[in-house]
A and B are shown apart, each in its own frame.
Chain A
Amino acid sequence: MTVPAAVLLAALVFAAASLARARAGIGSVRRPRYAAARGRESAGVRYAFSTAFLPWAKESASGHLATYLAGIAYHAGLFAMLARLVVTLLPVAVPRGLDRSLALLFGLALACGLGLLAKRLATPSLRALSLPDDAIANMLVDVALASAAGAALSPGAAPAFQLVGALLLLYAPLGKLRHMLFLVTSRRLWGQYYGRRGVRG
């Protein structure tokens, strides 16, 4: 195993352990229910993870379509980048065609990430809300996406991708990137709430 690969593996283990600890730290969100349900929680959860993602399902998306679509592309690129990062540790050969397609996705996600950062800095109400963590998290992801695109086009850049990826993973448990773990829980609770009350689902 190369040194960059070893660093990446260590960072991966650190991130997984730290995030698991953070998740365990808040405790179980399950609780007994006593009020009679009007609708089904499961239907609300299905809605939360399907139709609720459609651009017209929420005002926050339909009213900010460009931002919403940029966010979707950014996160799609981020998840693909993380998957590609893990693959660099495995004895798996990624077809060149797939890598070229991924490079395109990473490039698009990078452009979206930079656009979202620019919007954050340029919009007064958003800037008022922003913290150093917002900029650092965004830029770390952007650099990782750029290095992922480089590695996808040129296999020789893989060690650099691994080191940048390791840095991203080491940062992940510290700030807003933790939401990757908690948003699934939050969204499930959101769906349960509206499903149970018969408002959604």
Chain B
Amino acid sequence: MTVPALEVLTGGLEPRVAAFLESCVRCNLCAESCHVYLEDRDPASTPAAKVDRVARLYRRYRTWSGRVVPWLTGARSLTPAVLEDLKEAAFGRCTMCGRCTLNCAVGLDPAAVIGLARAMLVAAGKVPAGIQANVAAALETGNSMRIPPGEVLETVAWLEQDLRESTGDPTVSLPVDRPGRRVLYALNPREIKFFPLSIQAAGLLFHAAHESWTLTSTDFDITNYAYFACDRGAQAAISRKLLERAERLGVERLVVAECGHGYRSLRWEAPEVLGRRLPFEIVSFVEQLDEYVAGGRVTLDAARNRERVTLHDPCNLVRNGGVIEPQRRVLRRAAWDFVEMTPNREHAYCCGGGGGLLAASEYAARRVAAGRLKAEQIRRTGAKVVVTPCHNCIDQLLELNKHYELGVEIRTLAEVAADALIPTNHAG
């Protein structure tokens, strides 16, 4: 069990991660940047403590002093007990949100170090079962919820019919598997299973913008649990399915539905793990919608959303994805009373459900506890609606809403924008 994990550390270590491990001086000034530590105040939860767990192994196997005088630098050997400890730190106490990275006084990336720990745990076969099950499902069926193409087609068909009835517009359509369209809109499987209204909302906005677009019934999944697990091989294989589907459909643009890690893993990481440039651009639906609104292709009336709205910034979309202002520009047009949480944008706190934690049931209690900070932020805004362009964050916020009795509604940006949409005349 320890040997394959050790091979990751000794053979496959990325030079940049080695530089980070060499740079940490254990100043611990990062402690208060971590939402997990702010909640439990356990010294083991500070980013520096989590980095140190990996650094001690690095020193043991990669430095002379760690081999000869291990007591000096705390170097320790990799044992099954150490692996368990590493798992608890890397999966149980970290969402890889990167807030500590942004605030590291030295300038190292603790999230990348946790990524190394997770890669070692992948090699050791110690990934939480819930995360691993999603990886296996995506590799076997093309999506992490094992949804067959027939179910996608059926769901989209009734969504389309419902949309036509509710809008009274018989021209509204949710096209599927149409080659040669400009845009492929790729989904989070949770939308098909649990949140179909977000698909309807996006469809309505595409329709209003007169977009040439399509959905796909196969390989539609933007989520990538192997990215959470830091299993680079599986991550590449999962990303490849959707990207090759987009290539076969011949689209110019892949629009990623509202999903933080889905966006990051496709927009920023997939070209790197696949080692090639892509023949189309990848944007978030948030950016796409901002483009429509700014260009006058979609007109919104904020008066249609009178309740106070606040915005949660998904870490993978904002701090690690660079999509910071588009959602704000859209919300200012779509909501009458939009207020920010404090802190916000790239400084925002993680909701607590990132890094695959929502799928790791063994850490559920800690995940909900670590979300208290976010719950209090929401409560302080006095908002009735919380918008977040991420289905992973939505799941966590729904749980926080219930657990902390916030009494708010959690919605996607598309849903709020669709409610504010002033219909255009397609006949003309």
Please list the residues of chain A having a beta carbon within 8 angstroms of any beta carbon in chain B. 22, 25-29, 32-36, 38-39, 48, 52, 58-61, 63-64, 67-68, 71, 123-126, 128-134, 136, 173-176, 178-179, 181-183, 185-187, 189-191, 193-194, 197-199
Do A182 and B23 form a contact, CB below 8 Å, given A34-B271, A126-B28, A199-B319? Answer: yes
Bound Cα distance A183, B25 (Å): 10
Whether the Cβ atoms of B32 and A190 lie closer than 8 Å is no
Chain B residues within an 8 Å CB radius of A181 = 22
Contact of A34 among B32, B277, B346 (CB under 8 A): B277
Name the contact of A35 in the complex, choosing from B15, B49, B268 (C-beta under 8 A): B268
The complex places the Cα of A63 from the Cα of B37 at a distance, in Å, of 15
Q: Is the interface of A mostly helix, strand, loop or mixed?
A: helix
- A–B Cβ pairs within 8 angstroms, 29 of them: A25-B62, A26-B18, A26-B19, A27-B18, A29-B15, A34-B271, A34-B276, A35-B267, A39-B322, A59-B33, A124-B43, A125-B46, A126-B26, A130-B26, A134-B26, A174-B69, A174-B73, A175-B65, A176-B25, A176-B26, A179-B23, A182-B22, A183-B23, A183-B108, A186-B23, A190-B107, A191-B107, A197-B322, A199-B319
Q: Is there contact, CB below 8 Å, between A129 and B28?
A: yes
Interface residues of B (CB under 8 A from A): 13, 15-16, 18-20, 22-33, 43-44, 46, 48-49, 52, 62-65, 69, 71-74, 101-109, 267-272, 274-278, 281, 319-322, 324, 346-347
Q: Contact check: which of A22, A58, A124 meets B102 at CB < 8 Å?
A: A58
Query: Nearest residue in B to A27 (C-beta to C-beta)?
Result: B15
Does A190 contact B26, Cβ atoms closer than 8 Å?
A: no
Known contacts A26-B15, A26-B19, A178-B22; A186 and B74 CB within 8 A of each other: no
Specify which chain A residues have a CB less than 8 angstroms from the CB of B26 in the assembled complex: 126, 129-131, 134, 176
Beyond A128-B49, A182-B22, A197-B321, 18 extra complex contacts between A and B, CB < 8 Å: A25-B62, A26-B15, A26-B22, A34-B274, A35-B269, A36-B281, A59-B103, A63-B32, A128-B43, A129-B26, A129-B28, A131-B74, A133-B72, A174-B69, A178-B22, A183-B107, A190-B101, A193-B109
Nearest-neighbour CB distance to chain B for A114, whole angstroms, equals 16
Residues of B within 8 A of A125 (CB): 28, 31, 43, 46, 49
- A68 and B320 CA atoms in complex are apart in Å by 26
* Nearest A-chain residue to B266, judged by Cβ: A35
* In the complex with contacts A35-B272, A60-B33, A128-B43, A179-B102 CB distance below 8 A: no
